[in-house]
Amino acid sequence: MAGKERVEVEGATVYGPYSPAVKSNGILWLSGQIAPEAGDDITSQTKASLDKVDALLTAAGLSKDDACFVQVLLDDINDFAAMNDVYATWLEGVAIAPARAAFEAAALPAAAKVEIVVQAVDTNCCE
């Protein structure tokens, strides 16, 4: 695959002038996924953000099994344990969990409680 391709999910909310995901040469970069519309709690927002991640991975022809790195931004680091419980459930069945970083950010877009960024690799791309 030459060049780069925009990946998106029809009807999904985009909060600025960016691509929801970009795929190039077998690598997929997802923009940070937030879900403030899912509720005011970290559990609901984490689950909904991961649902958005799944939808973008599917649109790119991939799955969470192809995720290599995940970055989790929290508006309050005290929400780490609750976010981590949802994240662990999301990873059930994944043979090799992606590398991950999680930290507190001063403020997230749209007053979100969590933002999740994913990088994935299509291992069948460039054989």
- In a domain, residue 127? The reply is no
- In a domain, residue 110? The reply is yes
- In a domain, residue 27? The reply is yes
Could you give the dihedral angle defined by the CA atoms of residues 38, 107, 90 and 70, in that order, rounded to the nearest 10 degrees? 150
- In a domain, residue 114? The reply is yes
DSSP 8-class letter at 93:
T
**Residue 93 belongs to what domain range?**
5-9+19-121
Q: What is the pLDDT of residues 5-22, one digit of tens each?
A: 999 998 877 878 889 999
pLDDT score, position 51: 97
- Asked whether the predicted pLDDT for residue 1 surpasses 90, the reply is no
- In a domain, residue 41? The reply is yes
Q: What is the pLDDT of residues 28-68, one digit of tens each?
A: 999 999 999 999 999 999 999 999 999 999 999 999 999 99
Which CATH number belongs to the domain containing residue 82 in this structure? 3.30.1330.40
Put simply, whether the predicted model's pTM sits higher than 0.85 gets the answer yes
- In a domain, residue 92? The reply is yes
What's the domain count of the chain?
1
